[in-house]
Structure 1
Amino acid sequence: MSDDPFDFFGDLEDEVDDVEPAGRAPDSAATAAVGVQSEEVEEVPPLYADLYQFMNEFIGPQISRKLSEQTGSGLRWDPDWWRYPEAVLRANLMWRSFEAARIKDMTDPGELEAWMRLVADHHVPILLNGVNGPMSSSAGPMKTLGGTYPPNYGVLSVDSADDSVLGTGEPQ
């Protein structure tokens, strides 16, 4: 107990230092010390092989919005969305987090609902913003989201996706 009458958390801070943050697995030394055996986790392959497949086969058919025919207004989408760095960044974040939520949803139902509410509902309106979104200057109407595959299209994995888009490494 601290002598300071305004130190409300002094003793609590010492106890909190020994607790692992939520969602973080304790290290192997800590689990061995308490006799917990780590289980082998089976790696689940991604549902969508790459970012383009995710956008064209999941986001495109699932997200339905009335798109504007006039450049610079309403909701805009370019079938060549992959030409816009911000669109690629946001799509990549959505794809990677979707795959993680899908796997976690197998044991913790509600993860996909949370993904829809926290990730898709955040990024899709920004992507479609026809006034100042990344594709606001695109020409021509699109009836649905999704679109074309880039030239020289190749399959990317979750681990080998172009990390330069996320600023975490060099392109593969």
Structure 2
Amino acid sequence: MSTAPEVKTAAEEDVEFFYADVFVFVSDYLSPMVRRRINGSSATWCPRWWEHPEAGARLSALWLAWEHLRHDPALGMSTWWLHHADPHLRVLMDTDLGPFAACSPKDGHTAYPFEPLPVEPYDPGPGGAG
């Protein structure tokens, strides 16, 4: 008979989220909380954010960080705003460099307006990067 406590891995633990998924998080928390002048010149946003892969990844990261940090009653939300929300929102809403840069308050969503970052094939052989 072992007296050692049972240790669960993160995958085995039942993690209970406050928001069911990133879509609920954005619609029920982020959208009502973050209010900005969305004019296409100082800030922009796409109401179909999920159609922008970078935006989906960043907003999912924001949601998961929020879910984790909400359990810290002292510094959790301050940490989330300063180190997660503020930097991600600056990039997301950037009218020149952000993923919504080609979307506009007047014209709406523009899917994949820019090319992906250029990538050359990796060559692990002699003279390659490896």
TM over 0.5: yes
**CA distance in structure 1 between the aligned counterparts of 2:22 and 2:57, rounded to whole angstroms:** 10
What residue identity is the alignment partner of 2:35?
S
Query: For 1:119, what is the secondary structure of its paired residue?
Result: helix
Contact 1:129 1:135 in 2 (8 A): yes
Structure 2 gap ranges (5+): 107-130
**Residues 8-42 of structure 1, C-alpha deviations (whole Å, 9 max, x = no match):** xxxxxxxxxxxxxxxxxxxxxxxx7xxxx6799x8
Q: Given residue 102 of structure 2, which amino acid in structure 1 is its aligned partner?
A: S
The whole-number CA distance in structure 2 between the counterparts of 1:121 and 1:44 is: 26
Name structure 1 gaps, 5 residues minimum. Answer: 1-31, 142-172
Whichever residue aligns with residue 90 of structure 1, its letter is R
Pairing partner for 2:50 from 53, 73, 82: 82
Paired-residue identity, %? 29
Contact 1:74/1:131 (CA < 8 Å) preserved in 2?
no
RMSD: 2.1
- Are 1:76 and 1:129, in contact at CA under 8 Å, matched by a contact in 2? yes
Deviation at 1:139, TM superposition (A): 3.0
Question: Is residue 2:32 matched to residue 1:61?
Answer: yes
**Is 1:52 matched up with 2:17?**
no
Q: Deviations over 1:21-78 (max 9, x none)?
A: xxxxxxxxxxx7xxxx6799x855101000100111111011111111x4xx321111
Larger Rg belongs to: 1
In the aligned structure 2, how far is the partner of 1:63 from the partner of 1:52?
15
In 2: Cα distance, 1:44 partner to 1:113 partner = 22
For residues 12-161 of structure 1, the aligned pairs below 5 Å read 43=14, 45-68=16-39, 70=40, 73-103=41-71, 105-106=72-73, 109-141=74-106
Q: Please state how far the C-alpha of 1:102 moved relative to its aligned partner.
A: 1.0
Q: Flag the structure with more relative contact order, 1 or 2, with Cα contacts below 8 A and sequence separation at least 6.
A: 1
Q: Is the 8 A contact 2:17 2:67 kept in 1?
A: yes
Dislocated runs of 4+, deviation >3 Å: 37-40
Give the distance between the partners of 1:44 and 1:136, measured in 2 at CA: 35
Give the SS at the match of 1:134: coil
User: Aligned partners of 1:139 and 1:117: how far apart in 2?
Assistant: 27
Q: Please, what TM-score do these two structures have when normalized by structure 1?
A: 0.52
- Counting matched residue pairs gives 99
Aligned equivalent of 1:146: none
